[in-house]
């Protein structure tokens, strides 16, 4: 009877608990938030879709892992437009029918976006575009936001760059007949007229219907017949551009070639290699080929380094430009979602999202994305300084001269003089000031004397600066140097053909680091070198990390082994010598190392394992001999204390290994108490109770140990 009561009470309790859990998970659980990703996921262009999705998914996963948006998880709904116009319209219609969708990321192609955007606008659905560059896409659509600059802006920027950097007087443009080519053509002509660049030759290509190989000869002929052409502007798609470049160079057309974002894509680089093979042309064809992009990983910051690492861990791939931009698109979308109240009707929410996106409107009101600060102009377009890149064998690297965006207030003082000197260019109400790139790479990196008490380390390395124009090594300030390190005399100066110079210095100094040994001995530590030009802000010098190949480094210590390194650039606001706030470029190189499995660590764990075993043996000793076991355990306690004191690293906080000792105290203490109880019960002659408790102890102890191991593993891998 009693038993029945106990069982039924237990049953009721469990049911109540279950109902309670169900109630909370079902009724009070937050609803999901849906975002549509519209792209081509099948057919010829399915790769684009998967790249986009990788980037977006990564950001969404990160947000969901930290609790989503006010407790609601974000879910992606995938819509495949197949890269066709009809597909895009169909997809757009089904997206707007779904009342749960808050906004759309997409579409990939300008043509698809052009057709889908009016559907979104009509149904008041905000959309964020990350890849379509067609000019008027956002202009007549209040609900479309684009996080990359449009064609005209790119071409204007490139044209202004060509004029001011190469003093171009005559240009030739080869353009595709489609929307992409003609919009580039239009803006190129306009800007060229403004900058007084003559365009004696305009060649149109019908990429859909003709074979370029046949045209190529004709084109070469035309270019060779027209005198004094300084520059060829390619307003063509990636594949055709690659083909044309190889053919032009093969036929000795050695003019500077510039092209917009199509030429910055990885497809272009791959095609170039393919055409080079096809035409068996191995000459140095790449000199003097320039393109623009809104992002270059050599100029990216820590956020990108972390992103690339996570991306690599997840997909085992390097992130492409498109997945990086898609990640930013997701970032913008979710930031807008985070700032609004979701518990409204879907129309109100979408309207709020739109208003929230409109609140990002300048450098100070923006989202700090991987591709730089993201904000929108009146039309919902993004216009910021582009990075001009030069083609090298392994891909594009930033050009020595760049233009960075500045506010009018910063340059108002002698804007006229600087404008006439062409050190400032203006485009669409924005001002860009000419700046010089300094490429930095570290080599022969050696670290030793890594001291965790003083948080310092000793480093010896070669630092290589590649610059064009003035360079003041004296200005270079190592941010984390314990004692000032001054770059005085370079070991070597190399003068290059293109007027650039390479300076090599050897640095030997003590640097500080942020040591965190909470996970010791399973920790990884980062030694970093950070530097800045303390007198020249970003409008005078802009660093670029040469990180195509990671820098290897050596550690003169048996405690640590090198893991990997990366380098990145951060832009920091600082007060200048004149008391103004300015932005400075900072170079960072991070070297990550891991604790080696040394004898000391073995010594640390071996006794602990032995103790665990010894204590466990104690559970099996007959109760009559329990007093011996207690004495052994007390001895173990003393030895444990000794080892704890011996390995104590005198840090102000408890680290992982110390927790193990504390746990050991507890284990032994527990066992001693347990045995003491057993002994008491035994003396009271409660044989049955003694037997039961003993069995419980024998089962409980290993469970306790196993749990601890699992928890420790979790902590080590997650903290």
Partner 1 sequence: MQMRLNILFLFFIFFGVTACNNIVSKEERMAHLRSSENDIYIGIVDTIPNATQFVNGVKLAIDELNTSGGIMGKQIIPLIYYDYNNKKSALKIASKLSNNPDVIAVIGHFDPEYAISASILYKEAGIVFISTGTDLLRYGGDYIFNNYMHDMDYVDKITDFIKEENFSQIAILNDRHERNKILAENFYGQAVEKKINITFHKSFSPNEKNFRDLLSGLKLEKFDIIFLVCRDLAASLLINQMREMDIRVPIIGTYEIDTQHFWSQTGKNAEGMIIPTNFYAKNPRKLTQDFVKSFSVAFGVDPDEISARGYDFIRLLKDIMYQKNSYLPLILDTGIRFMGSWDGVLSRYQLTRKGQISPSELFYKKYDNGKFIYLKQKAKKKEDTFELVEEITLRLAVNDNIATMDPGFAHDTTSIEVCKQLFLNLTQYNDKNCEPEPDFALSWKANEDQNAFRYHLRKDVYWTNGEPVTAHDIVWAIQRNLRSKPDVPDIRHLFILKNARAIHNGEIKDLNKLGITVIDDYTLDFQLEYPAAYFPAFTGLPVYSPLPSKAIQKWGKEWTRPKNIQTNGPYRLVFYETDASAILRKNPTYFNASRVSIEEIRYNIIPNNINVLYLYKSNQLDIVGGPFSTIPLNYIQTVKKEPETRFNYKKGSYLSTLAFAFNIQQSPVDNILLRKAIASVIDRHFITRFIAFGYQIAEKSFTPEILMSEKIDSAAHFHPIHAQKMMTEAGYFNGHTCPEIIIETGTTVMHQKIVKAVSLLLKKHLNISTKIIDPMHSKTSSSHLRIQKYDASYPDADSFLYDSYILSRHYTHFNSDQISTLHENAIKEKSRTLRNILYEKIDNILIQKECILIPIYYDTAHYLVQSRVKGWNHMPFGGQLINSWQLEEE
Question: Encoding tokens for residue 208?
Answer: 């859909």
**Residue appearing with tokens 């020595």:** 400
Chain centre distance of CA 147: 16
- Residue 551 sits at φ, ψ, to 5 deg, of -80, 130
The answer to whether 559 contacts partner 1 (rule: CB under 8 A) is no
Q: Give the number of C-alpha atoms closer than 13 A to the C-alpha of residue 548, restricted to the C-beta side.
A: 8
Please tell me whether residue 232 adopts helix, strand or coil conformation. Answer: strand
Could you tell me if 661 and 643 are in contact, meaning their C-beta atoms sit under 8 angstroms apart? yes
The answer to whether 362 contacts partner 1 (rule: CB under 8 A) is yes
Question: Can you tell me which of 329, 349, 424, 464 binds partner 1, judged by CB under 8 A?
Answer: 424
Could you tell me if 177 and 183 are in contact, meaning their C-beta atoms sit under 8 angstroms apart? no
Beta strands in 452-481 (DSSP E): 456-467, 476-478
Could you tell me if 78 and 347 are in contact, meaning their C-beta atoms sit under 8 angstroms apart? no
* CB 160, min distance to partner 1, A: 11
* CB 383, min distance to partner 1, A: 11
* CB 58, min distance to partner 1, A: 30
Q: Which listed range, 188-196, 271-279, 579-587, 708-716, lies at the site for partner 1 (CB under 8 A)?
A: 188-196
The answer to whether 32 contacts partner 1 (rule: CB under 8 A) is no
Question: Can you tell me which of 194, 270, 283, 343 binds partner 1, judged by CB under 8 A?
Answer: 194
Question: Encoding tokens for residue 64?
Answer: 């969901």
Could you tell me if 403 and 441 are in contact, meaning their C-beta atoms sit under 8 angstroms apart? no
Q: Which listed range, 127-135, 271-279, 354-362, 627-635, lies at the site for partner 1 (CB under 8 A)?
A: 354-362
Q: Which listed range, 215-223, 228-236, 355-363, 691-699, lies at the site for partner 1 (CB under 8 A)?
A: 355-363
Could you tell me what percentage of the chain is helix, strand and coil, using 3-state DSSP and rounding each to the nearest 5?
Answer: 45, 25, 30
The answer to whether 218 contacts partner 1 (rule: CB under 8 A) is no
List CB contacts of 16: < 8 A, sequence separation 6 or more.
none
Question: Can you tell me which of 169, 222, 458, 460 binds partner 1, judged by CB under 8 A?
Answer: 169
Q: Which listed range, 201-209, 293-301, 353-361, 675-683, lies at the site for partner 1 (CB under 8 A)?
A: 353-361
Q: Which listed range, 34-42, 147-155, 388-396, 414-422, lies at the site for partner 1 (CB under 8 A)?
A: 414-422
Question: Can you tell me which of 9, 100, 417, 524 binds partner 1, judged by CB under 8 A?
Answer: 417
Nearer to partner 1, 36 or 160 (CB): 160
Nearer to partner 1, 421 or 558 (CB): 421
Q: Write out the DSSP string of 243-296.
A: HHHHHHHHTT--SEEEE-GGGGSHHHHHHHHHHHHHTT--S---TTEEEEES--
The answer to whether 419 contacts partner 1 (rule: CB under 8 A) is yes
Question: Encoding tokens for residue 494?
Answer: 């190399």
The answer to whether 121 contacts partner 1 (rule: CB under 8 A) is no
- Greatest Cα-to-Cα distance within the chain, rounded to the nearest angstrom: 115
* CB 358, min distance to partner 1, A: 4
Nearer to partner 1, 159 or 528 (CB): 159
Question: Encoding tokens for residue 651?
Answer: 């840090």
Question: Encoding tokens for residue 178?
Answer: 């489609």
* CB 247, min distance to partner 1, A: 31
* CB 344, min distance to partner 1, A: 10
Q: Give one word for 653, left, alpha or beta, with left for phi > 0 and alpha for psi -120 to 50.
A: beta
Could you tell me if 433 and 541 are in contact, meaning their C-beta atoms sit under 8 angstroms apart? no
Question: Can you tell me which of 23, 281, 408, 646 binds partner 1, judged by CB under 8 A?
Answer: 408
The answer to whether 429 contacts partner 1 (rule: CB under 8 A) is yes
Beta bridge partners of 362: 365
Q: Which listed range, 110-118, 192-200, 205-213, 502-510, lies at the site for partner 1 (CB under 8 A)?
A: 192-200
Question: Can you tell me which of 136, 358, 590, 658 binds partner 1, judged by CB under 8 A?
Answer: 358
* CB 419, min distance to partner 1, A: 4
Chain centre distance of CA 472: 31
Q: Which listed range, 87-95, 300-308, 323-331, 424-432, lies at the site for partner 1 (CB under 8 A)?
A: 424-432
Q: At what angle do helices 321-338 and 46-65 cross, to 10 degrees?
A: 40
Nearer to partner 1, 364 or 718 (CB): 364
Question: Can you tell me which of 16, 426, 494, 709 binds partner 1, judged by CB under 8 A?
Answer: 426
Nearer to partner 1, 358 or 658 (CB): 358
Question: Can you tell me which of 11, 24, 361, 666 binds partner 1, judged by CB under 8 A?
Answer: 361
The answer to whether 719 contacts partner 1 (rule: CB under 8 A) is no
The answer to whether 416 contacts partner 1 (rule: CB under 8 A) is yes
* CB 594, min distance to partner 1, A: 49
Nearer to partner 1, 361 or 665 (CB): 361
Nearer to partner 1, 167 or 548 (CB): 167
The answer to whether 140 contacts partner 1 (rule: CB under 8 A) is no
Nearer to partner 1, 408 or 605 (CB): 408
Nearer to partner 1, 152 or 243 (CB): 152
CA end-to-end span of the chain: 51
The answer to whether 85 contacts partner 1 (rule: CB under 8 A) is no
**Residue appearing with tokens 């093969």:** 250
User: Is the C-alpha dihedral spanning 133, 134, 139, 145 positive or negative?
Assistant: negative
The answer to whether 413 contacts partner 1 (rule: CB under 8 A) is no
Taking alpha carbons only, the member of 150, 131, 48 closest to residue 329 is: 131
The answer to whether 199 contacts partner 1 (rule: CB under 8 A) is no
Nearer to partner 1, 68 or 150 (CB): 150
List CB contacts of 132: < 8 A, sequence separation 6 or more.
107, 108, 109, 110, 112, 113, 114, 146
Binding-site size, partner 1 (CB under 8 A) = 20
Q: Which listed range, 260-268, 419-427, 545-553, 644-652, lies at the site for partner 1 (CB under 8 A)?
A: 419-427
Beta bridge partners of 410: none
Q: Which listed range, 4-12, 413-421, 568-576, 598-606, lies at the site for partner 1 (CB under 8 A)?
A: 413-421
Q: CA-to-CA distance for 231 and 226, rounded, in angstroms?
A: 12
Nearer to partner 1, 171 or 507 (CB): 171
Question: Encoding tokens for residue 9?
Answer: 């009470």
- Residue 101 sits at φ, ψ, to 5 deg, of -75, 130
Q: Which listed range, 129-137, 420-428, 549-557, 588-596, lies at the site for partner 1 (CB under 8 A)?
A: 420-428
Q: Give one word for 422, left, alpha or beta, with left for phi > 0 and alpha for psi -120 to 50.
A: left
* CB 102, min distance to partner 1, A: 20
- Residue 386 sits at φ, ψ, to 5 deg, of -95, 160
* CB 420, min distance to partner 1, A: 5
Q: Are strands 170-176 and 231-235 parallel, antiparallel or unpaired?
A: parallel
Omega before residue 504 within 30° of 0, cis: no
Q: Which listed range, 190-198, 213-221, 228-236, 525-533, lies at the site for partner 1 (CB under 8 A)?
A: 190-198
The answer to whether 491 contacts partner 1 (rule: CB under 8 A) is no
Give the footprint of partner 1 on this chain (CB under 8 A): 169, 193-194, 196, 355, 358-359, 361-362, 377-378, 408, 415-417, 419-420, 424, 426, 429
């Amino acid at each position: 009877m009693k038993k029945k009561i106990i069982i039924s009470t237990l049953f009721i309790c469990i049911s109540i608990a279950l109902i309670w859990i169900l109630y909370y998970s079902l009724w009070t659980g937050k609803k999901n938030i849906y975002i549509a990703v519209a792209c081509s996921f099948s057919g010829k262009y399915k790769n684009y879709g998967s790249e986009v999705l990788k980037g977006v998914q990564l950001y969404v996963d990160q947000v969901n892992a930290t609790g989503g948006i006010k407790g609601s998880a974000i879910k992606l709904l995938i819509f495949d437009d197949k890269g066709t116009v009809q597909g895009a319209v169909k997809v757009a219609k089904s997206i707007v029918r779904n009342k749960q969708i808050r906004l759309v990321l997409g579409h990939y192609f300008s043509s698809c976006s052009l057709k889908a955007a009016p559907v979104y606008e009509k149904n008041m659905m905000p959309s964020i575009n990350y890849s379509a560059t067609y000019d008027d896409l956002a202009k007549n659509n209040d609900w479309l936001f684009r996080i990359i600059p449009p064609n005209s802006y790119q071409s204007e920027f490139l044209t202004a760059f060509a004029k001011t950097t190469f003093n171009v007087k005559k240009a030739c443009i080869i353009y595709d007949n489609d929307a992409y080519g003609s919009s580039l053509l239009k803006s190129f002509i306009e800007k060229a007229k403004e900058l007084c660049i003559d365009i004696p030759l305009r060649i149109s290509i019908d990429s859909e219907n003709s074979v370029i190989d046949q045209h190529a000869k004709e084109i070469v002929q035309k270019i060779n017949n027209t005198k004094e052409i300084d520059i060829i502007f390619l307003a063509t798609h990636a594949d055709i551009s690659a083909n044309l470049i190889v053919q032009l160079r093969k036929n000795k057309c050695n003019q500077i070639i510039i092209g917009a974002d199509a030429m910055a894509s990885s497809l272009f680089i791959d095609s170039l290699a393919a055409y080079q093979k096809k035409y068996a042309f191995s000459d140095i064809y790449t000199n003097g080929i320039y393109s623009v992009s809104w992002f270059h990983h050599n100029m990216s910051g820590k956020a990108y380094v972390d992103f690339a690492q996570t991306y690599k861990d997840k997909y085992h791939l390097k992130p492409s430009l498109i997945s990086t931009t898609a990640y930013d698109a997701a970032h913008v979308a979710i930031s807008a979602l985070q700032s609004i109240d979701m518990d409204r009707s879907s129309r109100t929410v979408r309207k709020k999202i739109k208003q929230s996106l409109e609140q990002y409107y300048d450098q100070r009101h923006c989202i700090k994305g991987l591709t730089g600060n993201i904000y929108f102009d009146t039309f919902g377009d993004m216009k910021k300084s582009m990075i001009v890149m030069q083609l090298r064998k392994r891909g594009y690297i930033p050009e020595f001269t760049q233009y960075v965006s500045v506010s009018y207030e910063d340059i108002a003082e002698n804007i006229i003089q600087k404008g006439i000197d062409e050190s400032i260019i203006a485009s669409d109400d924005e001002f860009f000031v000419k700046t010089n790139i300094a490429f930095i790479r570290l080599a022969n990196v050696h670290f030793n004397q890594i001291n965790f008490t003083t948080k310092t380390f000793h480093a010896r390395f070669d630092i290589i600066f590649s610059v064009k124009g003035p360079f003041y090594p004296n200005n270079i300030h190592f941010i984390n140097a314990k004692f000032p390190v001054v770059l005085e005399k370079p070991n070597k100066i190399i003068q290059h053909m293109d007027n650039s110079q390479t300076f090599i210095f050897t640095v030997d100094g003590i640097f500080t680091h942020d040591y965190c040994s909470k996970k010791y001995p399973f920790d990884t530590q980062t030694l970093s070198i950070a530097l800045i030009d303390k007198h020249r802000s970003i409008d005078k010098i802009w660093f670029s990390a040469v990180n195509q190949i990671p820098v290897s480094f050596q550690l003169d210590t048996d405690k640590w082994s090198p893991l990997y390194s990366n380098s990145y650039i951060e832009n920091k606001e600082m007060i200048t010598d004149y008391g103004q706030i300015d932005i400075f470029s900072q170079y960072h190189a991070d070297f990550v190392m891991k604790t080696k499995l040394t004898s000391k660590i073995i010594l640390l764990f071996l006794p602990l394992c032995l103790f665990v075993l010894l204590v466990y043996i104690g559970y099996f000793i007959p109760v009559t001999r329990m007093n011996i076991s207690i004495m052994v355990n007390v001895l173990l306690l003393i030895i444990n204390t000794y080892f704890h004191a011996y390995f104590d690293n005198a840090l102000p906080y408890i680290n992982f290994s110390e927790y193990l000792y504390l746990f050991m105290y507890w284990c032994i203490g527990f066992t001693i108490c347990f045995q003491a109880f057993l002994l008491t019960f035994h003396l009271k002659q409660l044989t049955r109770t003694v037997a039961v408790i003993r069995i419980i102890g024998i089962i409980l102890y290993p469970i306790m140990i196993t749990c601890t191991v699992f928890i420790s593993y979790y902590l080590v891998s997650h903290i």
